[in-house]
Amino acid sequence: MGPANRQIARGAVFSPVSTPASSIATLAWFILAVSAAIFLVVFVLLIYSVVRFRARDTDEPREPAQLYGSNQIEFAWTAIPVLIVFVLVLTTIRTIYDVQAAREPPDAIHVRVIGHQWWWEFRYPDLGIVTANELHVPLSDPAHPMPTWLQLESADVAHSFWVPRLAGKTDLIPNRINTMWIDPHQIGIYLGQCAEFCGTEHAMMLIRVVVEPRPVFNQWVAAQRLPAATPSTQAHGRQVFESNACVSCHSVSGNRAHGTYGPDLTHLMSRQTIGSGVALNTREHLKIWVGDPGRMKPGVLMPAMNLSENDLDDLVAWMVTLK
């Protein structure tokens, strides 16, 4: 089962849609151009030497005269590379500074990003929202910037948050807080990936960033703040959830589930994917996932609960009401 991918804005590091990513892309093009120029000069000189000084039939059959040491040449091939490296170092430092020294505007959106083996927890402390794996942020119109400030933490091992079109990589390190920011100026869904090896399912620790216009973002916020739906028809499924170990790892607001080891499920169905992007969030996939998570994501830390077919069906029927 491949990672779910619909309505996704394609592109990579060279098509940035956020200021930090643009700065990095500009730097990358500059370094590429300098490297290409060096390559061209070396290659042309090499070809010239090979052709111009190749062995000819008229050559005398002995070694050519050997010359040792030329201060000018040695000085040139030391000084020029040093100068080039110096320019590259300065432009790199400047780019890092531009990205890191950016002032946080007072109305920025704040998100705590907590890396777990192998999923992402997103908490919006000012908005009272907890969600997982799919980060929603408002569009940042350059005329009215609305950046999102991310505070990166880890619940276990080192991870790295990387959404190439939005910003560079930043590590999530245990017992340390890193920060980064994005100001996406194009609507879309941007894919990212944990970029630091963090165990078996590192490759399936995917990120989705949903960039939406402010009014749509506000609607999403309002919906996320609501308590979980409590349909009277799915009481048995809910009871299966509450009477199993699910509650020690997952939270559902207004329920006795207060676990924080796994993703908050209060608005599970508002997410497009499950298992940190391992599959689309459909009823069929949920049933496979809950029945035996290791079938979709070998090594996943969520155990199979060995539910009866009937309990599993009722549980999933209740889960799909968590809109």
Provide the binding-site residues for ligand CUA, judged by CB under 6 A: 115, 118, 159, 194, 196-198, 202, 205
Given the DSSP bridges, would you call strands 206-212 and 159-162 parallel, antiparallel or unpaired? unpaired
CB 135 to ligand CUA: min, Å: 15
CB 116 to ligand CUA: min, Å: 8
CB 205 to ligand CUA: min, Å: 4
Question: In 208-219, which positions are buried (b, 16+ CB within 10 angstroms) versus exposed (e)?
Answer: bbbbbeeeebee
CB 191 to ligand CUA: min, Å: 15
Shorter beta-carbon distance to ligand CUA: residue 118 or 190: 118
CB 179 to ligand CUA: min, Å: 18
Shorter beta-carbon distance to ligand CUA: residue 169 or 185: 169
Given the DSSP bridges, would you call strands 178-182 and 148-154 parallel, antiparallel or unpaired? antiparallel
Shorter beta-carbon distance to ligand CUA: residue 109 or 194: 194
Shorter beta-carbon distance to ligand CUA: residue 202 or 267: 202
Q: Please, what is the angle between helix 19-52 and helix 71-100, to 10°? A: 170
Given the DSSP bridges, would you call strands 148-154 and 273-274 parallel, antiparallel or unpaired? unpaired
Shorter beta-carbon distance to ligand CUA: residue 113 or 252: 113
Shorter beta-carbon distance to ligand CUA: residue 198 or 290: 198
- Are 189 and 145 within 8 A, CB to CB? no
Residue 68, burial from CB neighbour count under 10 angstroms (0-12, 13-18, 19+): exposed
- Are 323 and 229 within 8 A, CB to CB? yes
Element (H, E) at 238: helix 235-243
CB 172 to ligand CUA: min, Å: 8
Cα gap 140→143, rounded to integer Å: 8
